[in-house]
Homo-oligomer: A and B are copies of this chain.
Amino acid sequence: MSNPRTRIALLGTGLMGLPMARRLLGAGFPVSVWNRTAAKARPLADDGAEVAATAADAVRDANVVITMLEHGGVVRDVLETHGVREAMPAGALFVDMSSIQPAQAREHAAQLAARGVGALDAPVSGGTLGAESGTLAIMAGGAAADFERALPVFAPLGRATHVGPAGAGQLAKLANQMIVGITIGAVAEALLLAERGGADAAKVREALRGGFADSRILEVHGQRMLERDFAKRGAVAVQLKDLRNALVTAQPLPLELPITSLLEQLFASAAEHGLADVDHSGLWLELARRNGLG
Q: Hey, which bits of chain A sit against chain B, CB under 8 A? A: 102, 125-126, 137-139, 141, 159, 161-165, 167-168, 171-172, 174-180, 182-183, 185-187, 189-194, 196-200, 203-204, 206-208, 210-218, 220, 246, 249-250, 253-260, 262-263, 266, 287, 290-291
Residues in B with CB closer than 8 Å to A185 are 182, 259
Residue of B nearest to A166 (CB): B198
Copies of this protein in the assembly total: 2
Residues in B with CB closer than 8 Å to A178 are 186, 189-190, 193
A189 contacts B260, C-beta separation under 8 Å:
yes
Task: Name A's interface SS.
Answer: helix
Residues in B with CB closer than 8 Å to A168 are 194, 197-200, 204
Residues in B with CB closer than 8 Å to A203 are 161-164, 172
Residue of B nearest to A187 (CB): B179
A139 contacts B182, C-beta separation under 8 Å:
no
B262 contacts A262, C-beta separation under 8 Å:
yes
Least CB distance, A8 to chain B, in whole angstroms: 23
A200 contacts B163, C-beta separation under 8 Å:
yes
In the complex where A183-B182, A216-B215, A259-B189 touch, is A208 in contact with B253 (Cβ < 8 A)? no
Q: Which of A137, A171, A174 has the most B CB atoms < 10 Å from its CB?
A: A171
Q: Which 3 A-B pairs have the closest CB atoms?
A: A215-B215, A182-B186, A168-B199
A-B contact pairs, 20 of them (CB 8 A): A125-B208, A138-B207, A139-B204, A139-B207, A159-B210, A163-B207, A165-B198, A167-B198, A172-B204, A174-B193, A175-B194, A176-B190, A176-B212, A176-B213, A178-B193, A189-B257, A197-B250, A213-B216, A215-B216, A258-B287
CA distance A126 to B191 in the complex (A): 20
